Structure 1
């Protein structure tokens, strides 16, 4: 494995450096850039604010890099000083280098934690020619259907101009995306079961049956702890 990584470093060093060149245009100067693959760190451009990872050093099991390598999803986390001696905020991205899965991690001082946007307190929906503000805790779920976006509350359907991606950023924590087409309010879940093909299905208290895609099942399990 070690020889394989060394070969990748030599053959793809220019490609790895390109990550740094691109990222330096938008990340703070006191940020570090770390790349890990096959369980080891293979690149580090460290600022003076952080401990420099040693090349070929094993990736810490609680680090952001390890979570990205295991789960293959973007990961953001605040790490306390127990791992590297100083707290830090990190954002990790899954990338491919030399046809191998890798983790690209931006390490920032802990004071760079971004402020969370204020949550929606209501959604304004359209029915025919009327617009109605609906308290957010009354919304059972949100749906993307035929290139339009809808939300449901009190057995009524409302059209909204806000996309699911935009909604996901500002909805309260009790809203959870379960499919590319659905976001649900977990307080309106009646039960979670499997269909005839053993795929998970969420039944809401209003009788709606919504599929859970494989991309989001781990999020559902983590939040609801089942």
Structure 2
């Protein structure tokens, strides 16, 4: 595929996609064009199309595909949109990759969480929430040393919270403003000490992103 032709398409669609987006084109079973945005997906021209990817699903279904990839081997989630196209009689896929926080535009950002404490429901402003936990198939959030259950899942909450909230583990989201300290445990994994005394583990999958976000 002529690279100049693809770059022309890239410039055209650049008018309506965010600058943070990455663009890739796959023909047959490999990528022929890659333009990286905010996320480095480690895709290079000539790389094969991996199983289960947005590109493969686009080829299989032959229609526009949208998918949130949460369990990425890269250690961070991303959102992909695939468009089936044709080039010189060959099936091709145009893929737009976005950071997951762009999903926030699809749902309003939460200003409060309503939680259940004993037999009562109470709305709590999100800035008063220190951390959120998924445990025993329930979601709990903590405020002023009290634990509230909520109807939301951790997956639903992670893209509707303000920027001060940080995913540190598949079971924990923390409010950065409530972090008291960061240390390593005997396995050299990071552990966060929260202002209420809670000790929360940092998954290795999120360590690099957390270090970059917090600057240490």
TM-score range, shorter chain: 0.5 to 0.7
Displaced runs of 4+ in structure 1, greater than 6 A? Answer: none
Q: Find the counterpart in structure 2 of residue 68 from structure 1.
A: 41
Q: Find the counterpart in structure 2 of residue 124 from structure 1.
A: 114
Structure 1 unmatched ranges of 5 or more: 1-29, 37-41, 45-52, 54-58, 77-90, 94-103
Offset of 1:67 from its aligned partner?
1.1
Q: Find the counterpart in structure 2 of residue 190 from structure 1.
A: 180
**Would you say the 8 A contact 2:132–2:174 is kept in 1?**
yes
Indicate which of 175, 178, 201 corresponds to 2:191.
201
Structure 2 unmatched ranges of 5 or more: 1-15, 18-22, 44-72, 83-92
Offset of 1:214 from its aligned partner?
0.8
Distance change in 2, residues 1:115/1:168 (3 Å): closer
Q: Take 2:176 and 2:112, find their aligned partners in 1: how far apart are those partners?
A: 17
Q: Take 1:154 and 1:114, find their aligned partners in 2: how far apart are those partners?
A: 30
Distance change in 2, residues 1:66/1:219 (3 Å): closer
Q: Take 1:152 and 1:66, find their aligned partners in 2: how far apart are those partners?
A: 31
Q: Take 2:205 and 2:181, find their aligned partners in 1: how far apart are those partners?
A: 20
Offset of 1:75 from its aligned partner?
4.3
Mapping of residues 1-226 of structure 1, within 5 Å: 34-35=25-26, 42-44=30-32, 53=33, 63-64=36-37, 67-69=40-42, 72=74, 73-75=76-78, 91=80, 106-107=95-96, 116=105, 117-226=107-216
Helix, strand or coil: the match of 2:115?
A: strand
Helix, strand or coil: the match of 2:134?
A: strand
TM-score by length of 1: 0.57
TM-score by length of 2: 0.60
Helix, strand or coil: the match of 1:157?
A: strand
Helix, strand or coil: the match of 2:213?
A: helix
* Higher Rg: 1
**Would you say the 8 A contact 2:104–2:160 is kept in 1?**
no
Q: Take 1:65 and 1:131, find their aligned partners in 2: how far apart are those partners?
A: 40
Residues paired across the two proteins, number:
150
**Would you say the 8 A contact 2:166–2:176 is kept in 1?**
yes
Deviation digits for residues 183-207 of structure 1, max 9, x if unmatched? Answer: 0000000111001111100011111
Distance change in 2, residues 1:159/1:152 (3 Å): same
